[in-house]
Amino acid sequence: MCRQTEKGRAVSEPTFAVPPKAPANVRVATKQAPRAAAAERVPDPGSELGPTGRPFPALPEPGPRRAPVEEAAVDQAAVGQRSPATVIALCNQKGGVGKTTTVINLGASLAEFGRKVLLVDFDPQASLTVGLGINPNEVDSTIYHLMMERDVPLDDVVIHTGIENLDLIPSNIDFAGAEMQLINEVAREQVLARALEPAVSRYDVILIDCQPSLGLLTVNALAAADGVIVPLECEYFALRGVALLKGTIDKVQDRLNPKLQIVGLLGTMYDGRTVHSREVLQTLVNGWGDAVFHTVIRRTVKFSEATVAGEPLIAYATSSAGADAYRQLAKEVLARCPGA
């Protein structure tokens, strides 16, 4: 279960002032300055301020995958079983903010650190499925069948990706009709939670890639999750919708899923050369405080190239700045969710 981060103040109508002068120990890229590799790397812990204006914390190297329950367990029936998975939904009602890219690369990073990870494509557009090199039109069983047909077992739906410890439940356009069908279901908000029950004991982390809406499918994802990560493009329009999303999360927490917590807000598509990106990120930190991840995902064409290749950036360009950023994010997520 994820540790609750400090709740920030919702900023419904952000205002932008003259950007603050950069601290003396932070170099701001200018138009004339050549692009240096050091400007793209993740800062050393405690040595300098990161893009969020805070020093990077010293995060421990992730340990090995959680061991099965030992003989000393109180419940002897649980001996040898894996601890329940930590379920995290990546959610934002605005599209194009980096949800799918984050699910792919965060999942691959966690798998690299020895976690057994299941990715759930919970969007009829099937971007997560395509991003892992799978043609959704050639998939026989998807998340739609797992949710809507009780006789479909988990093993019939799960696809093993080319990455060790990384599996996928795919989606396709058939899933577009699921929301209408769920309207008449009993306990319709908890259908996904029931469908994922067999997976919880088989994986360490389950990441759900939500569609860009706050409809019934997204509510299902939040009801099934232990925590929420909110990817947020460093642009004005993306910032405006955070308060609305926070309201939905609060309602689900109050009425359906009391354990639900915000794991963190993630700045994506950041370009430190522009005043606007720096202002949006600073406004986010001012409103949400420590709930904002220290890691920031910068704009780079490598993400698009990896998508075309059907691979996580972790595998496509393993030593790139983007891959290192997602490894750093994985460390932050594991630090905030100690059970993962």
Domain boundaries, the chain: 82-336
pLDDT confidence band for 47 (50 / 70 / 90): low
- Which residue reads 């630090």 in tokens? 335
What's the pTM? 0.84
Pairing of strands 166-169, 159-160: antiparallel
Q: What is the DSSP string of 49-86?
A: B-TTSSBPP-PPPP-SPPPPPPTT-SSGGGTTPPPPPE
Average confidence (pLDDT) over 4-25: 46
- The order of strands in the sheet holding 159-160 is 159-160, 166-169, 117-122, 205-210, 86-90, 227-233, 261-270, 292-298
Q: Does domain 82-336 have CATH number 3.40.50.150?
A: no
Average confidence (pLDDT) over 305-314: 94
Q: What is the pLDDT of residues 178-196, one digit of tens each?
A: 999 999 888 899 999 999 9
Q: Is the pLDDT of residue 71 over 70?
A: no
Q: Is residue 199 a contact partner of residue 152, using CB atoms and an 8 Å limit?
A: no
Q: Is the pLDDT of residue 127 over 50?
A: yes
Q: Is the pLDDT of residue 67 over 60?
A: no
